[in-house]
Amino acid sequence: MSTLDGIILGIVQGITEFLPISSSGHLVIFKKLLGFTEPQLIYDVFLHFGTLIAVTIFYWDDIKELLSFDFKYNKERILIIVATLPTAIMGFVLKDTFEKLFGSILSVSIALLVTGVLLWLVDSLDINFDKEIKNLNLLQAIVIGIAQGLAITPGISRSGITIITGLFVGLRRKSAARFSFLIFIPAVLGATLLEVVDLFEVGSIEVNYLALIIGTVTSTIVGYAAIKFLLRILEKDKFKNFAYYVWGIGSLILILNFFSLI
């Protein structure tokens, strides 16, 4: 991977990880369109680590509270753990199944169209968004965790489907985003750990360390900006705008795939 590839994938990862348009789906599409070879696992690990740093910086005050010994945060701690469990189970049990989908541009385009429908629905249905995270029950946390597990599918936006599910169970918009990003942290830490184990199994590989570092820094900076942008859009009830975008991209890829152009 060249330094330019690292910058491009860092930008794509940073934007699409947090905006509800699917990072995995866009990475698959970019590799197909631009002729990228499948990136080595270590680059994937560090690109995701960059977005993890972005979330950690943005929600650092919340993280410090959750890691404190203050008992008033116990319910939030429990809800985050409960939401993380189904994601971990699905990721472990269905890992091979989900990985096969990364080789199918057709499945990515269909998943993007489904993401668009969900984004459109959340701004179209009359739902009472008034709950804080502490008002969730365990079942609702599990449902959000299952939604995050489904986002392993390339083309299904993790941030999109978890925020949408949070809204459907009644969370306020900022609370839905906050819970989505807080459960992102243990999910990505767990996935990164598994990827690091895979790296050790692969053994020695050639790495462009400059591309690795620049890609990671790029995904961190762009990811932080994307979080701020998403929160502004979320408060303005404009999730539909993302729906039109993913419908457009999904349809375009579907057409190109039908005519064997991609």
Determine which of 61-65, 105-109, 199-203 has the lowest per-residue pLDDT on average. Answer: 199-203
Give the pLDDT band (50/70/90) at residue 205. Answer: low
Query: Among 3-7, 111-115, 169-173, 213-217, whose mean pLDDT is lowest?
Result: 3-7
Residue 10 in this model has a pLDDT that exceeds 70:
yes
Task: Yes or no: say if 253 and 29 are a contact pair by the CB < 8 Å rule.
Answer: yes
pLDDT at 192 over 80: no
> Is residue 222 scored above 80 in pLDDT?
yes
Mean pLDDT along residues 174-190: 92
More confident: 56 or 5? 56
pLDDT above 70: residue 199: no
Residue 171 bridge partners (DSSP): 131
Over 80: is that where the pLDDT of 206 sits?
Answer: no
Q: Write the secondary structure of the chain as one string of H (helix), E (strand) and C (coil).
A: CCHHHHHHHHHHHHHHHHCCCCHHHHHHHHHHHHCCCCCCHHHHHHHHHHHHHHHHHHCHHHHHHHHCCCHHHHHHHHHHHHHHHHHHHHHHHCHHHHHHHCCCHHHHHHHHHHHHHHHHHHHHCCCCCCECHHHCCHHHHHHHHHHHHHCCCCCCCHHHHHHHHHHHCCECHHHHHHHHHHHHHHHHHHHHHHHHHHHHHHCCCCCCHHHHHHHHHHHHHHHHHHHHHHHHHHHCCCHHHHHHHHHHHHHHHHHHHHCCCC
The first and second tokens of residue 65, run together, are 């509270």
pLDDT for 63: 95
203 or 201, greater pLDDT: 201
Q: Is pLDDT above 90 for 97?
A: no
**Residue owning tokens 């839905």:** 176
pLDDT of residue 234: 83
Residue with tokens 């590989």, as numbered in its chain: 205
The C-alpha atoms of residue 102 and residue 39 are separated, in whole angstroms, by: 12
Higher pLDDT, 196 or 84: 84
Give the predicted TM-score (pTM) of the model: 0.87
Find out whether 229 and 54 touch, Cβ atoms under 8 Å.
Answer: no
> How far, rounded to the nearest angstrom, does the alpha carbon of residue 235 sit from its chain's CA centroid?
20
